[in-house]
Amino acid sequence: MNKRIIEKIIKTKDEYDNLAVATIVDAKSSSPRDTGTSMLIFPDGKTYSTIGGGSQEKDIINKALKLLKKGKSGRISFNLTRKEAAQIGWVCGGDIDVYIENVWL
């Protein structure tokens, strides 16, 4: 997790009881972002940073919001060809696995 993400968590700790940290834990081929890239998802739907954008990121945000309501963590995977990636607004294809961690503040 990079310094900007940690600093944002610290700045928002008084606003929320919990938040989700979505991190790419595995990236293959020409995925949009590298392994270790993280973003924050807050219970009100606000986000900080990006792990690739497009409809896949929207799916990640929606899953994170569901997990936050349950107080749980989880994982989501995407396998995209370049053609599929272009159809959802990504420039790159590739495979990514994202771990969504529920962080209590």
- Residue environment code for 60-87, b if the CB has 16+ CB neighbours within 10 A, otherwise e: bbebbbebbeeeeebebebebeeeebee
For the cut 70, the answer to whether the pLDDT of residue 89 exceeds it is no
For the cut 80, the answer to whether the pLDDT of residue 86 exceeds it is no
Distances (CA, A) of 76 to 9, 14, 67, 96, 103: 22, 28, 12, 8, 17
Task: For residue 105, give the nearest of 8, 14, 2, 21 by alpha carbon.
Answer: 14
**pLDDT, tens only, 7-36:** 999 999 999 999 999 999 998 877 778 899
Query: In the chain, what percentage of residues exceed pLDDT 70?
Result: 89
pTM reported for the whole predicted model: 0.88
